Amino acid sequence: MSSLIVSLFSIGTTIFYVLSCIERRVLQLAFAPGKPVEEPDVRFVHQSLKRLIPVMPPSNGLVLLGGTALLIYQAITLHGDWSSIVLIVYYWGIQLFIFLGLNVSGAIQDVLNTPSDSSILEVSRGVKQLVLAHHAGLVQNFGTVLLQFLLIID
């Protein structure tokens, strides 16, 4: 069971790591708002995200649904042990923050509906939100793998 959980959330970690590599030139938009970002970099990341958006929800959905099912099954087989509950609460706490706090669906629609040649403020808006969401997803998935090793695997 643990190997499936580690494998699935490692895939999730890889997905978000690749996205963070694509977004590395515009990290200042999200994490250092006062620092300048090159306009061509913002437009490149915007265009890249537009191309990836149709592929990402199914990929991350597999991790989200499959991973949640595995975490619940693990909690059941461990008779509700506190460590298995911690994993579920950690994963879904961050997921709710991504869905509700970062409004990822709004950011996705913003990127999809904004042409890459629009004003730089319009293009930057959705990119900034997705950078934040992708880095939260990276922390979420990597943290789940780490907690699985620390709390569950002997």
pLDDT tens for the chain, 154 residues: list them. Answer: 899 999 999 999 999 999 999 999 999 999 998 899 999 999 999 999 999 999 887 788 899 999 999 999 999 999 999 999 999 999 999 999 999 999 999 999 999 999 999 999 999 999 999 999 999 999 999 999 999 999 999 7
pLDDT at 97 (0 to 100): 97
Give backbone dihedrals phi and psi of 81, rounded to 5 degrees, phi first.
Answer: -55, 145
Distance CA 76, CA 121 (A): 48
Q: Is the dihedral of CA 73, 77, 82, 83 positive or negative?
A: negative
Tokens of 2: 């643990």
pLDDT at 99 (0 to 100): 92
Distance CA 16, CA 132 (A): 11
What letter does residue 35 receive in the DSSP assignment? Answer: S
pLDDT at 95 (0 to 100): 96
pLDDT at 34 (0 to 100): 85
Q: What is the dihedral of CA 92, 128, 139, 96, to 10 degrees?
A: -10
pLDDT at 24 (0 to 100): 96
